[in-house]
Structure 1
Amino acid sequence: LTAMADQQQQFYILLGNLMSPDNNVRKQAEETYDTILGQNKVTFLLQAIRDASAAEEVKQMGAVLLRRLLSSSFEEIYPGLTLEMQTVIKTELLTSIQQETSPNIRKKVCDIAAELTRNLIDDDGNNQWPEVLKFLFDSVNSDIMPWLGRALSTESPKKFHDKVISALLQTMEDQSNPRVQAHAAAALINFTEDCPKSLLIPYLDSLVQHLHVIMVAKLQELIQKGTKLVLEQVVTSIASVADTAEEKFVPYYDLFMPSLKHIVENGVQKELRLLRGKTIECISLIGLAVGKEKFMPDASAVMQLLLKTQTDFNDLEDDDPQISYMISAWARMCKILGKEFQQYLPVVMGPLMKTASIKPEVALLDTQDMENISEDDGWEFVNLGDQQSFGIKTAGLEEKATACQMLVCYAKELKEGFVEYTEQVVKLMARWRFLNCGSRVRVAAAESMPLLLECARVRGPEYLTQMWHFMCDALIKAIGTEPDSDVLSEIMHSFAKCIELMGDGCLNNEHFEELGGILKGKLEEHFKNQELRQTKRQDEDYDEEVEESLQDEDENDVYILTKVSDVLHSVFSSYKEKVLPWFEQLLQLIVQLICPTRPWADRQWGLCIFDDVVEHCSPASFKYAEYFLRPMLQSLCDTSSEVRQAAAYGVGVMAQYGGETYRPFCTEAIPLLVRVIQAADSRAKENVNATENCISAVGKVMRFRPECVNVNEILPHWLSWLPLNEDKEEAVHTFDFLCDLIESNNPIVLGLDNANLPKIFLIIADGVANESIKSEDACSKRLANVVRQVQVSAGLWTQCVSTLNETQQKAIKDLLNTA
């Protein structure tokens, strides 16, 4: 025993050394750790987690390593352990969850147990650790409930769901222990939120009937004894099930709505505020799930209940939980009622603006102050560099963020119906571009801008321009100063949408100058960050974990690059070739993106930017051809499908918009495009979008530059490649060209004695069925006319329709009815 204790102590020292800032010490510790046998490793790690006297960081390291061991080496280690040892692991983990006092360690142990649970469910859904379910449902430790949803939902085999759901429902019916009932209901919420609709539907009937029985019983209990804990959870469970089941919840609507309305009507006492808030949420989620038609008979009564609560809003205390539930419920009602919701805006907007205008407490802190305040104390931090951070007190921030998102929702749903409020909302939102309001608020502020412009359109161009000028300065400043990359990408995306909405002339010289400097800075930073990451890969402490965080940084950087591309796209599409002199300050940086040595994402987005130059600035774009034409043609056969797609799209726009000067390149591109299309795996999931862009590009060359290609030779092949099912935008181009060919009675397309018509019907039917042809597209009317002309000849009609399956026949019928 003494020897074991000594070994364990040495193991603790080893765990400490694994966290050492000294590279040599850490490297040596890693090498020693790798030599310990699997079974011993598991024993030592378990002991470290369970040892009350061990330092917290040692326990934490032990938990991280054990989870890693079970996720990466389960098959090599676990089956080789003795049965006794396997039982010890299971027992020790469950005991640790119950007895561990540190929430941080307990969460980490929950993660280990989740990992083990997943590994111990076989493909048939048999759970080789039944005790874990019993433990979860018997436990009244709510910390582990979120884990249940995560561990037992989408990753588990279907058969296992049956066991989980029946176990949860059984536990919820345990009237003798309300705490356990409430936790089982909480677990059910986690489960249904993570469970895809298709997996939930088979259990829906059983689930709903049980929930109804429990709700009725708990409603009685509330009336008789005043207990509400389980009822609160059950109401949220019902909301969660409806939210996932959507229209499949319609048959159960009448089962729940009367009781839910009863709770809102009568649950007016102060201690029932949370229950009432959750019930309001539940009613609005059910309404959204079942749709307007089913919900309408109750909509008016529900609106009156909400209005009554809203009228009493001024009497609600600031911390009343009903406030945030009300704000979200109004927005859902707006989605359900659409334009009919406009009449309620005067009542809704006052409290909403009041909540959205909350000014949070803020502080500028240096790194030393930061050490005394943690995010758990209710602060959110933004790192400003130079040893400084900006702190925002999160109390009230959640409600503020929700309120701002609801304003976005009203603008989106009501459009011109929201025009009365656009000015005050714009002023409010423009203020929130600053750091002192939390990231969710800044995202909502950015998202609202293009939507508010659409609302304001109804008041004419002068009003719209005034509003835009107010927004434009705010957005450009925000792009230049926003430190959070997630928020920055939203701001850039919204700015691009605004420019597309406002069009030519919306930016003045100062705007262009400021924007040019910012975009140049973003691109230079992109290259600098990539170099820094390469340097970090050469460091001696580089390992898998470092690589993981470098990959995350890389994804963030590329996402910002996509937004730079969005902004340039909107500028080119609005200003055309007039903007080229301004663009030249960025030209060399974009050329750098498409160098063959750059990562594929750089080359993809660099080519997309040149695609826009060709599409929107032709034929003036040809003066930059020396920079991008060769790389674009070479990229047609690139190993990355994303790069191939961007290059193929470029060839298509050269043919369509480029003019005479691009003719030789269109000719040169055709055999390269055909090679990609005819490759054996061209229709594989990862390749199909690139392939469809190639097919569309071949079509555009034949249509707009027929002198560049032997149309008669290529046309039969092109027809055999149709329809395009994935890239809906390119599909429209191919159908437009197909209509041209049919309407001009092209003999190759129609075939001898119209022999190809059944094939054409098949292409049209598949296009409609896959929604590649939509009723609002101009080509849908032209295609419907083709079908009607065939209808006149009974023999030909029968011949064409007989080759179609049921779905395809329905698609043809739909086309005739809608176009």
Structure 2
Amino acid sequence: LAAMAEQQQFHLLLGNLMSPDNSVRKQSEEMYDNISGQTKITFLLQAVRDASAAEEVRQMAAVLLRRLLSSSFDETYPHLSPDMQTAIKTELLVGIQTETSPSIRKKVCDIAAELSRNFIDDEGNNQWPEVIPESVTLLAMLLDRWPQTLHPPSRKSFTIRYLGSIVISSLLQTMEDQSNPRVQAHAAAALINFTEDCPKSLLIPYLDNLVQHLHVIMVAKLQELIQKGTKLVLEQVVTSIASVADTAEEKFVPYYDLFMPSLKHIVENAVQKELRLLRGKTIECISLIGLAVGKEKFMPDAAAVMQLLLKTQTDFNDLEDDDPQISYMISAWARMCKILGNEFQQYLPVVMGPLMKTASIKPEVALLDTQDMENMSEDDGWEFVNLGDQQSFGIKTAGLEEKATACQMLVCYAKELKEGFVDYTEQVVKLMVPLLKFYFHDDILSGSAESMPLLLECARVRGPEYLTQMWHFMCDALIKAIGTEPDSDVLSEIMHSFAKCIELMGDGCLNNEHFDELGGILKGKLEEHFKNQEVRQAKRQDEDYDEQVEETLQDEDDNDVYILTKVSDILHSVFSSYKEKVLPWFEQLLQLVVNLIGPHRPWPDRQWGLCIFDDVVEHCSPSSFKYAEYFLQPMLQSLCDPSPEVRQAAAYGVGVMAQFGGENYTPFCREAIPLLVGVIQAADSKSKENINATENCVSAIGKVMKYRPECVNVNEILPHWLSWLPLNEDKEEAVHTFNFLCDLIESNNPIVLGPENTNLPKIFLIIADGVANESVKREDGCSKRLANVIRQVQVSGGLWTECVSTLNETQQKAIQDLLNTA
């Protein structure tokens, strides 16, 4: 009782430390400072773990305890009794496992992380070896639990900050501790979480050590399975191997032969019912390794692996609905499809039955009043959406993840196999279109949207009538989904897919009703965009405004801009399909797009507003000139904008005006030239953030010289333009510049070739760099033209030698590749 009274007094003290009354707070601080370190730790830990205490009191205790361990660790912790030290560690671990308040759990993790950091000295030696198993368990818990409460970037930075070479060593050391399988499994779980979040560049230095240890552990655990039947750690180790391979990609090739025989052995022999999870995880591991190392390395084993998968697949009818192998098999087949490409088509008859069955799972749903809902626990696998007026819609979540995985795999087959998937397009489209209204699982909804243009592409081979029927089946549902989907991530996927479909189907794919509905929706999206910006600006004036609020507002802003990019995508597809016929329809949106490019709008608004007008000019000229008063001057001013994204959109606009706009745009093209040159010649024009805008300026000048030579002194600017080539970042604009270069060479332009062809070594250099950087692709028409230029020089021995001698080894190989393929 006395201890309880003391603890209550301490709670009161913590509350007073937060008092707005200065005198109360100062008095409490003095009392707190007079408490001994050991007593402080005891009381603070009890306060943090006391679920009956006020949340703000617990939070204050957590902050103070972490500060104590951070600033006074050496003065306090080593002087605690061993029992007290063990109690602290135990309490923290229990707190991480059982704490229900996310904010308190996060703070408990903070304390535990601070404590574990202090167990390692400056040289990386572990001064508390007896707590490694517990700290590994802690790491597993931290990685499994805390990051789920964080924003994904925070999760990644957390993982990288707390897990370096020292902790990897500890994890591997603990995984080899045969005496404690539970901690071994925790260590493997922590390693899986680490490698999943770890950038490839960070993993590579540890890869050899990591892989060799994993192999030793796997062999030992495989023996243990055979001798004792224990499988938990082996399951985790197999998943660890898969995760490492997935992150390491081609760097895993040297270790392939170390693992594949054992993994195939597990799949062949782990046939008992209790080993089905191990078998499923091993199937996943084999397919991930195959994808990581690539077709060439994997092919010698591919046939045997396919036979193993086929055998499992043919036994599918005997598998129970909840067999964990099913979802692993479905994902593995899709990875095999990515590896084998068209060769996979032969397996579709075996694969598609179970896949369609899983994708067609119909979850149990119910419409409930509030009273009924309270009697049904979410722990029983139900999720609820409140419909207002005392009603809720419930859905049983069993099978939803499997359904989502299956939908993603159907997307994968359509993407990889194209016309090879045509026999299944009808049944898949009939499954997918209704799922555009499946609001209970974002991945299912996104998968259904993503599949639409891919299925159209597959169906093309059957001819226009079949294709049009399929499009009519999906069109209305897609438009309605754009109008009703509340989640911005899913909405952007639906809008992107709709735009792709319009591009595939082309002119005539939308009727008047579609245009009316689509116009109203896009108008609403743009109006909402401006309204949301106003609301966010108002929030920045609130008295509650701080850094945390700003972070939330920035996230909202990013989501809004992303939807704006999709509005631009849809308009692009409509303009490119319908040309100037669509301009009367566009006029309902015109003023809103003009608002986007106002001088005081945020730069993403101006960027995407200019992109929309770029499309108007490119696809609707010469009719586009009737809107010139709205965008010409803003576009000209934007060539000097501080934002490179805005400069790039404006420069592209100048290029399409020259190419497509007609004579009306001539004065503007003339006025733009010195501004474009200014951007190119700026000191930092080649920096990473500026290079794309700069290359668009180079391309725009090339287009003006080619299509509107009256706007510029071609002879004066051509030597400069040649010195700016090749374009290495913007591949689409690079094709334009190489085609114009071919025009100039083929017409024997004296400025480009130079007196007595002295510029040819420089031209060889430009072509070689273009090929080496993949700015020239063999499917581009200009690759044949460039190859012909090279061949013409090849027959002139002395000139050929001179041109080739200036090239380095990579450039010479690029020239040879061009001659061999074009």
Deviation at residue 79 of structure 1 after TM alignment: 8.4
Are residues 1:292 and 2:267 paired? no
Deviation at residue 187 of structure 1 after TM alignment: 2.1
Are residues 1:351 and 2:346 paired? no
Q: Which of residues 94, 98, 115 is equivalent to 1:99?
A: 94
Q: In the alignment, which residue of structure 2 is the partner of 1:500?
A: 503
Q: In the alignment, which residue of structure 1 is the partner of 2:820?
A: 817
Contact 2:136–2:186 at 8 Å: present in 1 too? no
Deviation at residue 447 of structure 1 after TM alignment: 0.3
Q: In the alignment, which residue of structure 1 is the partner of 2:424?
A: 421
CA distance in 1: counterparts of 2:550 and 2:392, whole angstroms: 26
Contact 1:63–1:108 at 8 Å: present in 2 too? no
Contact 1:284–1:329 at 8 Å: present in 2 too? yes
The secondary structure found in structure 1 opposite 2:540 is helix
Residues 661-740 of structure 1 mapped to structure 2, 5 A cutoff? 661-740=664-743
Q: In the alignment, which residue of structure 2 is the partner of 1:396?
A: 399
Write the letter of the residue equivalent to 2:699: S
Change (3 A) 1:557 1:184: same
State TM-score, norm by structure 1: 0.89
Contact 1:124–1:157 at 8 Å: present in 2 too? no
Residues 306-455 of structure 1 mapped to structure 2, 5 A cutoff? 306-362=309-365, 378=381, 391-455=394-458
CA distance in 2: counterparts of 1:644 and 1:560, whole angstroms: 21
Unmatched 5+ residue regions in structure 2?
A: none
Contact 1:154–1:196 at 8 Å: present in 2 too? no
Deviation at residue 511 of structure 1 after TM alignment: 0.7
Q: In the alignment, which residue of structure 2 is the partner of 1:591?
A: 594
CA distance in 2: counterparts of 1:142 and 1:751, whole angstroms: 68
CA distance in 2: counterparts of 1:111 and 1:761, whole angstroms: 60
Q: In the alignment, which residue of structure 2 is the partner of 1:616?
A: 619
Change (3 A) 1:782 1:385: farther
- Residues matched between the structures, number: 799
Change (3 A) 1:625 1:140: closer
Write the letter of the residue equivalent to 1:313: F
Q: In the alignment, which residue of structure 2 is the partner of 1:261?
A: 264
The answer to which of 575-584 and 263-272 deviates more is: 263-272
Deviation at residue 59 of structure 1 after TM alignment: 6.3
Q: In the alignment, which residue of structure 1 is the partner of 2:232?
A: 229
Q: Which of residues 209, 229, 244 is equivalent to 1:206?
A: 209
CA distance in 2: counterparts of 1:707 and 1:384, whole angstroms: 65
Q: In the alignment, which residue of structure 2 is the partner of 1:84?
A: 75
Percent of pairs with identical residues: 76
Change (3 A) 1:157 1:400: closer
CA distance in 1: counterparts of 2:109 and 2:455, whole angstroms: 44
The answer to which of 252-261 and 109-118 deviates more is: 109-118
Q: CA RMSD in A?
A: 3.8
Residues 126-145 of structure 1 mapped to structure 2, 5 A cutoff? 134=132, 136=134, 139=137, 142-145=140-143
CA distance in 2: counterparts of 1:223 and 1:512, whole angstroms: 66
The answer to which of 372-381 and 485-494 deviates more is: 372-381
Change (3 A) 1:184 1:78: closer
Deviation at residue 268 of structure 1 after TM alignment: 1.6
Are residues 1:791 and 2:794 paired? yes
CA distance in 2: counterparts of 1:676 and 1:655, whole angstroms: 18
The answer to which of 440-449 and 152-161 deviates more is: 152-161
Contact 1:107–1:144 at 8 Å: present in 2 too? no
Unmatched 5+ residue regions in structure 1?
A: 18-24, 71-76
CA distance in 2: counterparts of 1:130 and 1:765, whole angstroms: 59
CA distance in 1: counterparts of 2:160 and 2:143, whole angstroms: 20
Change (3 A) 1:61 1:3: closer
Q: Which of residues 90, 110, 113 is equivalent to 1:112?
A: 110
Change (3 A) 1:774 1:141: closer
Contact 1:281–1:329 at 8 Å: present in 2 too? yes
The secondary structure found in structure 2 opposite 1:433 is helix
Residues 46-195 of structure 1 mapped to structure 2, 5 A cutoff? 50-52=48-50, 55=53, 57-58=55-56, 61-62=59-60, 83-84=74-75, 94-100=89-95, 101-102=98-99, 104=101, 107-109=105-107, 111-112=109-110, 116=114, 134=132, 136=134, 139=137, 142-146=140-144, 161-195=164-198
**1:573-625 CA distances to partner (integer Å, 9 max, x unpaired)?**
00000101111111111111111121111111111100000000000000011
CA distance in 2: counterparts of 1:590 and 1:184, whole angstroms: 55
Change (3 A) 1:112 1:368: farther
CA distance in 2: counterparts of 1:329 and 1:596, whole angstroms: 52
Residues 737-816 of structure 1 mapped to structure 2, 5 A cutoff? 737-816=740-819
Q: In the alignment, which residue of structure 2 is the partner of 1:73?
A: none
**1:2-38 CA distances to partner (integer Å, 9 max, x unpaired)?**
99985752433666x8xxxxxxx8xx99x989x989x
Write the letter of the residue equivalent to 2:92: I
Change (3 A) 1:776 1:539: same
The answer to which of 390-399 and 217-226 deviates more is: 390-399
**1:96-151 CA distances to partner (integer Å, 9 max, x unpaired)?**
43232315467414642587599989999958997798255553885335379999
Change (3 A) 1:511 1:198: same
The secondary structure found in structure 1 opposite 2:774 is coil
Change (3 A) 1:66 1:482: farther
**1:508-559 CA distances to partner (integer Å, 9 max, x unpaired)?**
1111111111111111111111111122222222222221111111111111
**1:487-507 CA distances to partner (integer Å, 9 max, x unpaired)?**
110000000000000011111
Write the letter of the residue equivalent to 2:763: I
The secondary structure found in structure 1 opposite 2:315 is helix
Contact 1:495–1:567 at 8 Å: present in 2 too? yes
Are residues 1:532 and 2:532 paired? no
CA distance in 2: counterparts of 1:241 and 1:364, whole angstroms: 45
CA distance in 2: counterparts of 1:485 and 1:503, whole angstroms: 27
CA distance in 2: counterparts of 1:380 and 1:751, whole angstroms: 74
The answer to which of 147-156 and 348-357 deviates more is: 147-156
Contact 2:109–2:146 at 8 Å: present in 1 too? no
Contact 1:384–1:483 at 8 Å: present in 2 too? no
Deviation at residue 635 of structure 1 after TM alignment: 1.0
Contact 1:382–1:390 at 8 Å: present in 2 too? yes
Write the letter of the residue equivalent to 1:792: V
The answer to which of 243-252 and 561-570 deviates more is: 243-252
The answer to which of 369-378 and 440-449 deviates more is: 369-378
State TM-score, norm by structure 2: 0.88
